[in-house]
Amino acid sequence: VYASGGLVYEEGPWTGVLSGTYRVRELGDGNRFDDYSIQTSIDYALGGGFSLAIAHEFLRAQNNRSRRIGVRFSKVIDLGRQ
């Protein structure tokens, strides 16, 4: 069973995102384990379809915990409608 949710807030060229996922796992030995991840990011629209974002994720899976930080530079390409 998975449950996910998220919030997005935009103000001018800035976009903030907070999201998370929660999963219930039934193990073969009858035990239960829950894991989850939480993600945050902030994005700045540079203009001309370009944007720059930085993101952070915290993940707990079984007995492991990890954190990731990432940076994204992107360009929107409009392929048009046919």
**What is the distance between the alpha carbons of residues 43 and 3, in angstroms, rounded to a whole number?**
25
Taking alpha carbons only, the member of 61, 64, 53 closest to residue 24 is 61
- Dump pLDDT digits (tens) for 12-62: 999 999 999 998 877 778 777 778 899 999 999 999 999 999 999 998 887
Taking alpha carbons only, the member of 47, 42, 48, 52 closest to residue 72 is 52
- Dump pLDDT digits (tens) for 49-82: 999 999 999 988 877 888 999 999 999 888 886 6
**What is the distance between the alpha carbons of residues 39 and 6, in angstroms, rounded to a whole number?**
9
Tokens of 12: 């001018």
**What is the distance between the alpha carbons of residues 36 and 61, in angstroms, rounded to a whole number?**
7
